[in-house]
Amino acid sequence: MTMQALHTPPNPLMKPSTNQDERFWDKIAVKYAQKPVADEAAYQQKLEMTREYFTPESLVLEFGCGTGSTAIAHAPFVKHIVASDISGEMIAIAERKAIAAQANNVLFVRADLTELPDREGEYDVVMGHSILHLVRDPQAVMSRVYRVLKPGGVFVSSTACLDEMGFWKLALPIARAFGKAPHVNIFSREGLISEMTGQGFDLVHQWQPKKGAAVFLIARKPIGNGE
């Protein structure tokens, strides 16, 4: 992969916001960046577990990167990270944070995962944190993740499974109608795992710090013949 500076010429993917979800995340980007992590100990543990799958030569993709904290935290442990998000405001904040942290091996791109180049077997690790429950077509997203991973590569995700919270099934459509919420998929933990293994992944680790917390999964793309 060709290394690129953070300040690149305008990218054709950097188009104006045209849908409700993009506008929602653009609107709350500053507040989102200022909000502390809900469970710092669990977040740090997730970082450590992810780094077990890194090498200094790892090529990493993160989609739904938000304001870039996770990508920047991992930058010293890998060769290069491409981090994308649909919100231009989120990406702008992420770029400023990366400059401050001197994370020169992170390239932030405003794009949906399915808009990024579809290069089969390009990445060693793909990360998707707090995003699978927000995408319009999670099956298509998981399929794309599987495709761009190298054989033996891993997909690391942390996903809110709201099925056990019946309140959300009623509240979310109302909130969305008033522009107060983005699109949300109501996953169960079992349903999420089934979707992932149905795409061909082998689940190698699962962890939920406490009831109601996001489900942290590490899934591997088999190395041929299911090995």
For the chain, give the secondary structure using H, E and C: CCCCCCCCCCCCCCCCCCCHHHHHHHHHHHHHHHCCCCCHHHHHHHHHHHHCCCCCCCEEEEECCCCCHHHHHHHHHCCEEEEEECCHHHHHHHHHHHHHHCCCCEEEEECCHHHCCCCCCCEEEEEEECCCCCCCCHHHHHHHHHHHEEEEEEEEEEECCHHHCHHHHHHHHHHHHCCCCCCCCCCCHHHHHHHHHHCCCEEEEEECCCCCCCEEEEEECCCCCCC
Chain mean pLDDT for the chain: 84
Structural domain boundaries of the chain? 20-220
Section 91-108 average pLDDT? 97
Stretch 83-99: mean pLDDT, rounded? 96
Query: pLDDT of 50-79, one tens digit each?
Result: 999 999 999 999 999 999 999 999 999 999
pLDDT at 100: 97
Q: 129: closest CA among 211, 56, 67?
A: 67
Instruction: Assign domain 20-220 to its CATH architecture.
Output: 3-Layer(aba) Sandwich (3.40)
Neighbours of 97 (CB within 10 A): 18
For residues 84-95, give the mean pLDDT. 96
- Could you give the C-alpha distances from 197 to 64, 80, 200, 221, 222, in angstroms and in order? 21, 27, 5, 10, 11
Average pLDDT rounded to a whole number, residues 20-39: 86
pLDDT for 165: 54
The whole-model pTM stands at 0.83
Average confidence (pLDDT) over 130-159: 94
